[in-house]
Amino acid sequence: MCGIVGFTNNINNSNSVIEAMMNRIKHRGPDAEGKYVDEDIALGHRRLSIIDVSSQGDQPIFNEDGSMVIVFNGEIYNYRQIKEKLIAAGHRFSTNTDTEVLIHSYEEYGEKMLNMLRGMFSFVIWDKNKKELFGARDFFGIKPMYYAIMGKTFMFGSEIKCFLEHPDFVKELNTSALENYLTFQYSPTGETFFKNVHKLLPAHYFRLKDGKLSIKRYWDVHFNADEKPSLNEWVTMISDTFHDSVKAHKIADVEVGSFLSSGVDSSYVAAVADVDKTFTVGFGKDEKYNEIGWAKNFSKAIGKENTSKVISPEEYWNSLAMIQYHMDEPLADPSAVALYFVCNIASEKLKVVLSGEGADEIFGGYNVYSDPDGTVYDKLPRALKRGIGSIAEKLPAKRGVNFFVRKGKDVEERFIGNAYMFTPEQRKELLKIKTDAPLPQEITKPYFDNVKNKDDVTKMQYLDLHLWMAGDILLKADKMSMANSLELRVPFLDKEVMALAQRIPRKYRVTHDKGTAETKYITKYAMRLAAKKDTPKQTAQTAAKKKLGFPVPIRVWLKEDKYYNIVRNAFESPVSEKFFNTPKLTKLLDDHRSGKADNSRKIWTVFMFIIWYNVYFENNGKY
């Protein structure tokens, strides 16, 4: 795993600038560094040595005649098979790296090489003869890539913070991203919080030639249910395919470990992977927030060593500025901090770890997926439900009332992903500034349009695969692991696993049949049965255990004087006054403290933005 940076060369001090940019992301690759600079381009690379750990694997890497040069971040798990084909076609190799396979594949196949790959990647290739830059990002967005056009300079990198070192970079807040963030809890579009800085979206590639940038999608998910196989056949296929994916994801010249919470996803990974070490974190002694005891028992049952850490409230709160620095953009997911600490304890013992991200999105695991058609109320006529819902919207928000509001809307109207913080009306009332941010439904509509003839569960999964997973789940996985110089691999997010999962009928992804012991699992139904099949008997109950996933007690902390006052001071600060109607913020905080409402996630969303803004705009990218 590595970090990449680069820019089109229009400056006189390009060597020192590319080095400064590389140093900004040294945490992504502390083992080695390399650069290539000519009159047209500057490319930089920081290396974390995983495959071919000798210096032969240092980047940038060239093709045979030196006419092409590549910088690459990621792992290609089928690179050996591709390499055999390339050797047969006459290509000569000087290293044993997957990086060199990429550059020869591009020589041989052009952009068609992307669909041959199995892995996680973002890379850029400079063709000296054509004066053309080509870059691509992996299928799911496991590895990040950002780019910006500032004047005549095109710059790219694994992290936005490296752009701060370029003399052409203009740092300016994108206020539209702020308004979107208040609803989604992350930045949901191709724009970022920095004006004119963009994400290369997952499964896209770009070309830059003669100053003209073109971007195209090369792959997408296609849910097409195959009703022919039986449930048992699907369970067997899931088991076989997942075993194969885990085997591929263990390819490394260094030791591989596994994260472990009490949920089925990480437990399934740990049981199948047969690694020597597992890693877990928790808070306090309350089982609602601490899975360490369960994880130790599970690890003992499968014969593995578990390393754990109890995160103190002080450690958590003291790390917030550092966390938001590494995120590049504000992220309001409280579990990001827990992920940082589990990556930290893992990095003390090894360089590569497996994790369970992606299982919920591809197999149908979130509780919200069981909502459509899950009650008797859903059988009522649509017009009647919409009428009741419109009446309920005028009532004070409560759990029972929210049910009728939700059921009165089509999935396209109500679902934007696993987090829905502030409604468009609420965020307008909260913000002091005016922006041109689109409505949430304008952001989600293109994705829903792609699956307009599918059932509601499939629609929600498709949306989450493209927004929530890339914008929240994989963002924090990459940034928190790389902050600790740790490579995090996600065997559920494998092209072959997805090819299977997208064929599974809805009834085997999400079921409401509770008639027998074998059908009591509502979400990820077939996958849970596969996990039960592959998990030792002593721990088979993990397939039925409710998912927690490193839960964080922020709702409790925000009622304590110490942390209430920290947040209140932030809400009454000059930065807060600049963007928000602060009396509304303090009311959210006070209502939460008094128990009138659980506003913890809304409070956290604003608080994380303020911390992030202080790091990047008040402290010039320092924490």
162 catalytic? Reply is no
Rounded to whole angstroms, the Cα distance separating 145 from 141 reads 9
The type of residue at 341 is: F
Q: Assess whether 136 and 198 both reside in one domain.
A: yes
Q: Assess whether 193 and 342 both reside in one domain.
A: no
Q: Assess whether 48 and 86 both reside in one domain.
A: yes
Please answer whether residues 144 and 125 qualify as being in contact, where contact means their C-beta atoms are separated by less than 8 angstroms: no
Residue 461 lies in a domain: no
In sequence order, the β-bridge partners of residue 199 are: 146
Q: Are strands 153-157 and 197-199 parallel, antiparallel or unpaired?
A: unpaired
Residue entry with tokens 């974390």? 48
User: pLDDT per residue over 261-288, tens digit each?
Assistant: 878 999 999 999 989 999 999 998 755 6
Q: Assess whether 117 and 168 both reside in one domain.
A: yes
Among 151, 182, 217, the domain-final residue is 217
Tell whether omega for the bond before 60 is within 30 degrees of 0, i.e. cis. yes
Give residue 204's pLDDT: 98
Q: What is the mean pLDDT of each run of 10 residues along the chain (623 residues)?
A: 91 96 94 93 88 69 95 95 96 92 97 97 97 98 97 96 97 97 97 98 97 97 97 97 96 90 90 93 74 87 92 96 98 96 96 96 92 69 80 68 76 92 95 95 97 95 97 97 96 97 96 57 89 72 49 90 97 97 96 93 97 96 90
In sequence order, the β-bridge partners of residue 123 are: 72, 136
CATH code at position 124: 3.60.20.10
User: pLDDT per residue over 412-433, tens digit each?
Assistant: 989 999 899 999 999 999 999 9
- Provide the token pair at 499: 């090819």
Q: Assess whether 111 and 213 both reside in one domain.
A: yes
Q: How many alpha carbons lie under 13 Å from residue 300 in its C-beta half-sphere?
A: 6
Residue 428 lies in a domain: no
Q: Assess whether 529 and 568 both reside in one domain.
A: no
Among 492, 524, 544, the domain-final residue is 544
Give residue 58's pLDDT: 84
Nearest Cα neighbor of 576 from 600, 616, 611 is 611
Residue 341 lies in a domain: yes
| Cβ contacts of 20-26, under 8 Å, gap ≥ 24 | 20/165, 21/157, 21/162, 21/163, 21/165, 21/166, 22/46, 22/162, 23/165, 24/159, 24/161, 24/162, 24/164, 24/165, 25/157, 25/158, 25/159, 25/161, 25/162
- Provide the token pair at 354: 């497996």
Residue 451 lies in a domain: no
Q: Assess whether 134 and 260 both reside in one domain.
A: no
Q: Assess whether 50 and 181 both reside in one domain.
A: yes
Give residue 514's pLDDT: 56
What is the span of the domain harbouring residue 600?
553-623
Rounded to whole angstroms, the Cα distance separating 559 from 594 reads 8
Residue 370 lies in a domain: no
Give residue 543's pLDDT: 47
Give residue 540's pLDDT: 46
| Residue 281: partners with Cβ closer than 8 Å, 6 or more residues away | 292, 308, 309, 310, 311, 338, 341, 342, 345, 550
Please answer whether residues 608 and 421 qualify as being in contact, where contact means their C-beta atoms are separated by less than 8 angstroms: no
Q: Assess whether 477 and 599 both reside in one domain.
A: no
Q: Assess whether 306 and 360 both reside in one domain.
A: yes
Please answer whether residues 347 and 485 qualify as being in contact, where contact means their C-beta atoms are separated by less than 8 angstroms: yes
Residue 471 lies in a domain: yes
Other C-beta atoms within 10 Å of 617: how many?
16
- Provide the token pair at 580: 């928000």
When divided into structural domains, the chain yields a total of 3
- 215 three-class SS: strand
Q: Assess whether 43 and 170 both reside in one domain.
A: yes
Residue 379 lies in a domain: no
| Residue 162: partners with Cβ closer than 8 Å, 6 or more residues away | 3, 5, 21, 22, 24, 25
Q: Assess whether 196 and 245 both reside in one domain.
A: no
Residue entry with tokens 């490319």? 43
Query: Is the dihedral angle over the CA atoms 301, 304, 305, 308 positive or is it negative?
Result: negative
Q: Are strands 68-76 and 61-62 parallel, antiparallel or unpaired?
A: antiparallel
Whole-model pTM over 0.75 = yes
Given the residues 1, 2, 124, 488, the one annotated as active site: 2
- In 373-489, DSSP assigns E strands to 487-489
Residue 404 lies in a domain: no
DSSP notation for 552-615? --HHHHTTSHHHHHHHHHHHTSHHHHHHB-HHHHHHHHHHHHHTS---HHHHHHHHHHHHHHII
Among 520, 544, 568, the domain-final residue is 544
